[in-house]
Amino acid sequence: MIKSIVMLFTFIFFMISNVSAELTIKIQRAEIGTLPIMISVVGDSKSYPAKNFSEIIENDLYGSGYFNILDASTVKNSVKNKKTQYALWNLAGANYFLKSEIYSKGGSEYIKFNLHDVVKKEIMFSYKIKLTNKSNERKIAHTISNVIFERITGIKGVFDTKIAYISTEKRPEKKIYKLHVSDIDGYNSVAIYKSSKQLMSPTWSPDNNKIAYVSFENNRPEIFIQTLASGTREKLLNNNNSNSAPAWSPNGKLIAFTSSIKGNLEIFTYNLVDKKVKRITNSIGIDTEPEWHPSGKKIFFTSDRSGRPHIYSKSIRYGKAKRLTFDGSYNADSNISSDGEYLSLVHNGGNGHKIAIYSLKENFLKVISSGRLDEAPSFAPNNKMILFASKKRNKGILVATSNDGRIRKEIELSGEDVREPIWSH
């Protein structure tokens, strides 16, 4: 009885609370945009200028396409009063504020970060990192960027991942080709292999410990696998064929590649465990640039069997190839997103080679770059950014873009002619 009364009351109060909150307002209009954030780092140390940290973080966050970086110098970091602080930041238009300070204590230097949610007036996270002589300020800053990005967007940050690319140095008498591994902003670049002959098609192993690539050191294309930590190289296949376009299977056991049979290019897989080669495609046209589906059961590749290059998919075990792209005169060099939903590819719809996103679910193609000679797209591990090669004043450059093409950022690489970038996993 009492129970039922209580229940009735709860019900009534629920009704009341619903009814007394009867001022129901529909909110229908929103701005689609970027989140305003301010990055403030103060307190210089001898070896680590505060400005470096803020620049790296600002660069990372802006490049992600999710943030609008507001100038923090308009707001003084010295305000101590919490209430005033939030009011000031809010007035400056920031939704988030990274308040950071480098300071010395007991002979050691530290950098302290506090990320504030200006709207909710609360601290989202606090970090303190000890700085030593050997500290990699860029690595620290990228880590901070990752944490900020993850806490605000709920998406994994990719600012501490790596990219690989090929550069060409033109000397008066010859060309020097280099295979580089660097941070995603082009810093900490290391040439892991140099050659006077052409280098092509770098690709990461699933664990990011090795890179497979094509080298012409023996005057024909051959695939090599290089371990990053030790620098040791090994040739994948000891045959007399031209082998190119390596692609690591998601489980790391197979490498799909292109090989010529009587002058025609077909796709094969090489088993790294039992060393067996298996043919995947068989057509009168060229089949090349294999790319694995995340399931490891299917590959995407470029074929001109229809007369023009287009993207096809095919099971690695049986069945026929299926044509995917029909738009434009040229679709090639596909790279799949880690969720298996999108392909990034080079597309020519009559206006030059551009980067496009192809939705495997909805079968539509969307161009996201504006160059005329854009090529070699690859997704960031979180699929939110795409890295590709472009041309600027006849020189190859690398561009990172948000996956909708809205944010486009050139990666500064000390004036080298660069191409074929690929993002690590």
Partner 1 sequence: MNSNKKKKLSITIKVLIVHMVSIVLLDLNISAYVKKDSNNFDNVKNAQFINLKSISLEEIQKKRALIEEKKRKLEALKKKRKADEIKRKKKLLAEKKKKADEAKKKKLEEEKRKIEREKELKKLAEEKKKKDLKRLKQEEEEKLASYELEKLENELKEIERLESLIKQQRIRNAQLSDAEKRYILSIKSKIENNWLIPHDTKHDKLCTAIVNQLPSGKITDVKIHGCTGDPLYIDSLINAVWKSSPLPVAPDIEVYQENIVLQFEGPQ
Whole-number Cα distances in Å, 287 to 220, 267, 378: 18, 6, 20
Q: Compute the least distance from the CB of residue 68 to partner 1, in Å.
A: 9
198-231: buried (b, 16+ CB within 10 Å) or exposed (e) per residue?
ebbbbbbbeeeebbbbbbbeeeebbbbbbebeee
**Closer residue to partner 1, CB minimum distance, 207 or 404:** 404
**Closer residue to partner 1, CB minimum distance, 45 or 153:** 153
- Regarding 307 and contact with partner 1 (CB under 8 A), the answer is no
- Regarding 424 and contact with partner 1 (CB under 8 A), the answer is no
Place of tokens 């009534």: 12
- Regarding 12 and contact with partner 1 (CB under 8 A), the answer is yes
Strands across the sheet with 210-215, in order?
199-204, 210-215, 222-227, 233-235
Q: What angle do CA 146, 148, 154 make, to 5 degrees?
A: 85
Q: Which of 384, 396, 401, 419 binds partner 1 (CB under 8 A)?
A: 384
Q: Compute the least distance from the CB of residue 87 to partner 1, in Å.
A: 12
**Closer residue to partner 1, CB minimum distance, 26 or 320:** 26
Rounded Cα–Cα distance for residues 356 and 152 (Å):
28
Residues binding partner 1: what is the number (CB under 8 A)? Answer: 39
Beta bridge partners of 125: 115
**Closer residue to partner 1, CB minimum distance, 153 or 260:** 153
Q: What is the DSSP string of 269-307?
A: EEETTT--EEE----SS-EEEEEE-TTSSEEEEEE-TTS
**Closer residue to partner 1, CB minimum distance, 149 or 270:** 149
Which span sits near partner 1 by CB under 8 A: 131-139, 262-270, 282-290, 396-404?
396-404
Which span sits near partner 1 by CB under 8 A: 13-21, 74-82, 200-208, 294-302?
13-21
Q: Which of 189, 390, 402, 424 binds partner 1 (CB under 8 A)?
A: 402
- Regarding 229 and contact with partner 1 (CB under 8 A), the answer is no
363-401: buried (b, 16+ CB within 10 Å) or exposed (e) per residue?
eebebbbebeebbbbbbbbbbbbbbbbbbeeeebbbbbb
Q: Which of residues 51-70 bind partner 1 (CB under 8 A)?
A: 65-66
Which are the contacts of 63, defined by CB distance < 8 A and separation ≥ 6? 185, 385, 400, 407, 409
**Closer residue to partner 1, CB minimum distance, 91 or 261:** 91
Q: Which of residues 84-143 bind partner 1 (CB under 8 A)?
A: 90, 95, 119-120
Q: What is the DSSP string of 187-223?
A: -S-EEEEEESS-EEEEEE-TTSSEEEEEE-TTSS-EE
- Regarding 4 and contact with partner 1 (CB under 8 A), the answer is no
Which span sits near partner 1 by CB under 8 A: 1-9, 46-54, 107-115, 192-200?
1-9
x/- map, 16-45, partner 1, by CB under 8 A: xx-xxxxxxxxxxxxxxxxx----------
- Regarding 146 and contact with partner 1 (CB under 8 A), the answer is no
- Regarding 348 and contact with partner 1 (CB under 8 A), the answer is no
Q: What angle do CA 126, 63, 114 make, to 5 degrees?
A: 10
Which span sits near partner 1 by CB under 8 A: 12-20, 100-108, 158-166, 225-233?
12-20
Q: Compute the least distance from the CB of residue 124 to partner 1, in Å.
A: 11
Rounded Cα–Cα distance for residues 371 and 376 (Å):
13
Q: Compute the least distance from the CB of residue 206 to partner 1, in Å.
A: 26
**Closer residue to partner 1, CB minimum distance, 48 or 67:** 67
Place of tokens 């940050």: 157
**Closer residue to partner 1, CB minimum distance, 154 or 415:** 154
Which are the contacts of 307, defined by CB distance < 8 A and separation ≥ 6? none
Which span sits near partner 1 by CB under 8 A: 199-207, 336-344, 403-411, 415-423?
403-411
Which span sits near partner 1 by CB under 8 A: 5-13, 270-278, 312-320, 417-425?
5-13
Which are the contacts of 217, defined by CB distance < 8 A and separation ≥ 6? 195, 197
Provide the binding-site residues for partner 1, judged by CB under 8 A.
5, 8-9, 12, 15-17, 19-35, 65-66, 90, 95, 119-120, 152-155, 384, 402-404, 406
